[in-house]
Amino acid sequence: MTSISPQPRVHVHDDADAMIGAVADALVARAQAAVAAKGGFSVALAGGGTPRPLYERLATSPYRDRLDWSRIHVFFGDERCVPPDTARSNYRMAHDALLSKAPLPPANVHRMRGEDEPAQAALGYTQTLRSVFRREWPQLDLVLLGIGDNGHTASLFPGCACLREREQPVCAQYVESQQEWRLTMTLPVINAAAAVWLLADGDGKADVLARVLHGPYRPDELPMQYIAPVADAYAWWLDRAAAASLSPMS
């Protein structure tokens, strides 16, 4: 039984390293095509631990040399409301893994200001998105996502206020389960992206992925079920362990 629509295209690789390599290859190809077609490529990075090896891979040869970084704009799908130089910062993780190593013009890196008052930071990032994309609702070329074992993605947590936000592209909320304020892109922005890719590895993700894909449609409890991109490039990139509970047909 499948409950979500559209269904993601599920790519399963032997292990996390193979999954990361496949995502790096696909991301470089997508970026090259976007730069060739329209002169630029915009990507929103995911936080957490899963994507770090991807960012490190992109910062090293041959991947680093395959991209015209001057044409790439980097955004963040979410951020913890902490200063950018602290260990919990998603920006800090991306900076250490990629942004400090790739020849990206500083003006092409659009950081969520976790150090600011949250509501102000959300407004500020909304203005950033609208200024860069020159439109009310940005359409990113690619949004990278992770998933928590409670089905959260970006900083869209079960039962949280930002899950219901449909008027603003960026939202701030206090997340009880994390005991911290978070900033997040909202569902209209994520679902408007030309491509949305979820990266997950390890047996700790197997159960939640199966509940999202095969379980009852309860998106307020499993926010990942709200991810329903309008474009056709919705994909999950998994290793075998994370895919272990998915039905063979997925």
Q: Rounded to 10 degrees, what is the CA torsion of 211, 11, 155, 133?
A: -140
154 is a site residue for ligand 6PG (CB under 6 A): yes
6 is a site residue for ligand 6PG (CB under 6 A): no
Identify the DSSP state of 188: H
Compute the distance between CA of residue 97 and CA of residue 51 in angstroms, rounded to an integer.
10
Query: In 32-61, which positions are buried (b, 16+ CB within 10 angstroms) versus exposed (e)?
Result: eebbeeeebbbbbbbbbebbbbbbbbbbee
Concatenated DSSP letters of 59-105: TSTTHHHHS-GGGEEEEESEEESS-TTSTT-HHHHHIIIIITTS---
46 is a site residue for ligand 6PG (CB under 6 A): yes
> Which region among 47-55, 131-139, 163-171, 208-216 touches ligand 6PG (by CB under 6 A)?
47-55
89 is a site residue for ligand 6PG (CB under 6 A): no
CB 157 within 8 Å of CB 178? yes
> Which region among 15-23, 32-40, 48-56, 231-239 touches ligand 6PG (by CB under 6 A)?
48-56
Beta-carbon neighbour count of residue 72 at 10 Å?
A: 22
**Minimum distance between the CB of residue 48 and ligand 6PG, rounded to whole angstroms?**
3
> Which region among 18-26, 64-72, 127-135, 140-148 touches ligand 6PG (by CB under 6 A)?
140-148
114 is a site residue for ligand 6PG (CB under 6 A): no
The number of residues that bind ligand 6PG (CB under 6 A) is 14
Structure tokens at 221: 């409890």
From 55, 78, 185, 208, residue interacting with ligand 6PG (rule: CB under 6 A): 78
From 42, 90, 126, 186, residue interacting with ligand 6PG (rule: CB under 6 A): 90
From 50, 89, 225, 250, residue interacting with ligand 6PG (rule: CB under 6 A): 50
Structure tokens at 30: 């997508």
> x/- string (CB under 6 A) for ligand 6PG, residues 215-244?
------------------------------
Compute the distance between CA of residue 18 and CA of residue 56 in angstroms, rounded to an integer.
14
84 is a site residue for ligand 6PG (CB under 6 A): no
**Minimum distance between the CB of residue 215 and ligand 6PG, rounded to whole angstroms?**
19
Compute the distance between CA of residue 148 and CA of residue 132 in angstroms, rounded to an integer.
30
The residues of the shown chain that bind ligand 6PG, judged by CB under 6 A, are 46-50, 78, 90, 146-148, 152-155
